[in-house]
């Protein structure tokens, strides 16, 4: 076989990864927890080339109809990951390859586009190097891409990333299959542009926020409580914790030096509307990653009611409806 095709989902974090206690191995300060997204994914093809000097990356954006060759930092990240992957898997031989990658959604807009891409590439490199890895080692490999959250796109459904003590015990596992809970993530696109500060840049300065140590303290309890609420399917408490967590992470972002403001006025307007509509029994909760777009988490029974309500909101350019999904796989 000279070529394989892989599909891997983005994920939305219910408990966030923000800050690295080890910057070389991308080890997080805390455990994090996420759900894989059915409609936000990367399709990646990797072709093996006889000539090892040939290494190429072609990308097609969700709104384009042609693949474009990349020579920018995205290509550099692929090469850095290739070298780290070789080291991790103790591969000596040099390989030539061509990658074609397509994203089903706007990239770098706070929908974890690098998580879907790098988790797919982790599977791609394991194939290229002829290594059959279990999910644990694939998750570690994905983490070493530098997009830490990609390790949560390897397992199926709902993933828990254990922060671990060292590189070989920091990885994500599935704590429930996609069918466990019929949660829906309505991604509300308010801006299709790319964010100005990347997560990798943001991670570097978390320690400069005076709130960071309080965030870590408060996380100890929130992490335990959200796991309990999840296994009880207590949606109201789960949602409360979800919002508390998003606000906690963004408070750190806004107080680190230099501060990062991912939210826009539109983000705040919509947050208020989501809180308001709960009062009439349409129950949904917001969470936000590194971007201005909102992830509205509700249960399947309320999906239609929300879609009806949201279609009249002028801030929203597009809605992407997501259900829990399997992890990275060959297709
Ligand atoms: C705010 O370093 O994994 O989304 O490289 O952009 O994928 P990317 O980011 P990464 O940090 C993710 C930060 C976050 C929170 C989260 O997903 O846990």
Indicate which residue's Cα is closest to atom 14 of ligand 1.
Answer: 289
Q: Given pLDDT bands bounded at 50, 70 and 90, which one contains residue 28?
A: very high
Give residue 13 CA to ligand 1 midpoint distance, Å.
9
Residue 290 in contact with ligand 1 by CB distance below 6 A = yes
pLDDT higher than 80, residue 245: yes
In this prediction, residue 112 carries a pLDDT of 67
- Write out the DSSP string of 97-146: EEEEEEESS-TTSSS-HHHHHHHHHHHHHHHHTT----HHHHHHHHHTTS
Give the pair of three-digit tokens for residue 304: 């239609």
pLDDT higher than 80, residue 111: no
Give the pair of three-digit tokens for residue 73: 């930092």
- DSSP class of 258: S
Q: How many CA within 13 A on the CB side of residue 128? A: 30
Q: Given pLDDT bands bounded at 50, 70 and 90, which one contains residue 39?
A: very high
> Mutation test of ligand 1: which of 23, 33, 80, 148 has the most ligand atoms closer than 8 Å to its C-beta?
148
Ligand 1, closest atom to CA 32?
Answer: 18
Give the pair of three-digit tokens for residue 232: 């009880």
- DSSP class of 29: S
Mean pLDDT (the chain) is 95
Per-residue pLDDT of 41-80, as tens digits, reads: 999 999 999 999 999 999 998 778 899 999 999 999 999 9
pLDDT higher than 80, residue 113: no
Q: Which of 202, 209, 218 is nearest to 252 (CA)?
A: 209
Give residue 276 CA to ligand 1 midpoint distance, Å.
29
Q: Which of 128, 121, 165, 158 is nearest to 143 (CA)?
A: 121
**Pairwise CA distance, residues 105 & 32, whole Å:** 23
**Pairwise CA distance, residues 122 & 146, whole Å:** 11
Range in 77-86, 104-113, 272-281, 320-329 with the lowest mean pLDDT: 104-113
Residue 115 in contact with ligand 1 by CB distance below 6 A = yes
**Pairwise CA distance, residues 3 & 9, whole Å:** 20
Residue 147 in contact with ligand 1 by CB distance below 6 A = yes
Indicate which residue's Cα is closest to atom 10 of ligand 1.
Answer: 147
Residue 112 in contact with ligand 1 by CB distance below 6 A = yes
Cα 113 to Cα 37, 60, 105, 265: the distances in Å are 11, 13, 8, 23
Q: Given pLDDT bands bounded at 50, 70 and 90, which one contains residue 191?
A: confident
Q: Which helix (H) or strand (E) holds 304?
A: helix 303-310
Cα 280 to Cα 184, 271, 274, 300: the distances in Å are 19, 15, 11, 17
Give residue 75 CA to ligand 1 midpoint distance, Å.
19
In this prediction, residue 106 carries a pLDDT of 76
Residue 13 in contact with ligand 1 by CB distance below 6 A = yes
In this prediction, residue 269 carries a pLDDT of 96
Give residue 202 CA to ligand 1 midpoint distance, Å.
9
**Pairwise CA distance, residues 284 & 273, whole Å:** 11
Range in 14-28, 63-77, 212-226, 280-294 with the lowest mean pLDDT: 63-77
Per-residue pLDDT of 269-291, as tens digits, reads: 999 999 999 999 999 999 999 99
**Pairwise CA distance, residues 293 & 191, whole Å:** 7
Give residue 90 CA to ligand 1 midpoint distance, Å.
27
In this prediction, residue 63 carries a pLDDT of 78
Residue 298 CB neighbour total at 10 angstroms: 22
> Mutation test of ligand 1: which of 16, 117, 288, 290 has the most ligand atoms closer than 8 Å to its C-beta?
290
Ligand 1, closest atom to CA 113?
Answer: 7
pLDDT higher than 90, residue 1: no
């Amino acid at each position: 076989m000279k070529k394989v095709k892989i599909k891997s989902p983005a994920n939305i974090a219910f408990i966030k990864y923000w800050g690295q206690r080890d910057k070389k191995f991308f080890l997080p300060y805390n455990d994090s927890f996420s759900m894989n997204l059915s409609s936000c994914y990367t399709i990646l093809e990797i072709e093996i080339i006889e000539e090892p000097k040939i290494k190429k990356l072609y990308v097609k954006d969700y709104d384009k109809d042609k693949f474009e060759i990349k020579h920018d930092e995205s290509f550099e990240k692929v090469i850095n990951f290739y070298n780290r992957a070789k080291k991790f898997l103790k591969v000596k031989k040099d390989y030539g390859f061509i990658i074609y990658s397509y994203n089903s959604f706007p990239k770098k807009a706070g929908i974890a586009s690098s998580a879907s891409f790098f988790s797919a590439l982790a599977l791609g490199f394991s194939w290229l190097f002829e290594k059959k890895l279990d999910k644990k080692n694939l998750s570690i490999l994905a983490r070493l891409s530098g997009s830490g959250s990609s390790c949560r796109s390897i397992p199926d459904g709902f993933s828990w990333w254990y922060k671990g003590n060292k590189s070989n015990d920091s990885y994500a596992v599935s704590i429930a299959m996609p069918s466990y809970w019929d949660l829906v993530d309505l991604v509300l696109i308010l801006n299709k542009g790319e964010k100005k500060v990347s997560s990798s840049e943001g991670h570097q300065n978390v320690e400069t926020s005076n709130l960071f140590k309080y965030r870590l303290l408060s996380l100890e309890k929130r992490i335990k409580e959200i796991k309990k609420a999840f296994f009880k399917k207590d949606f109201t408490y789960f949602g409360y914790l979800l919002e508390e967590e998003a606000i906690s992470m963004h408070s750190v972002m806004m107080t680190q030096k230099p501060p990062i403001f991912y939210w826009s006025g539109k983000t705040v307007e919509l947050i208020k509307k989501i809180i308001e509509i709960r009062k009439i029994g349409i129950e949904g909760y917001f969470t936000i990653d590194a971007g201005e777009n909102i992830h509205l988490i509700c249960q399947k029974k309320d999906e239609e009611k929300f879609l009806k309500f949201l279609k009249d909101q002028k801030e929203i350019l597009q809605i992407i409806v997501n259900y829990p999904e399997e992890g990275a796989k060959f297709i």
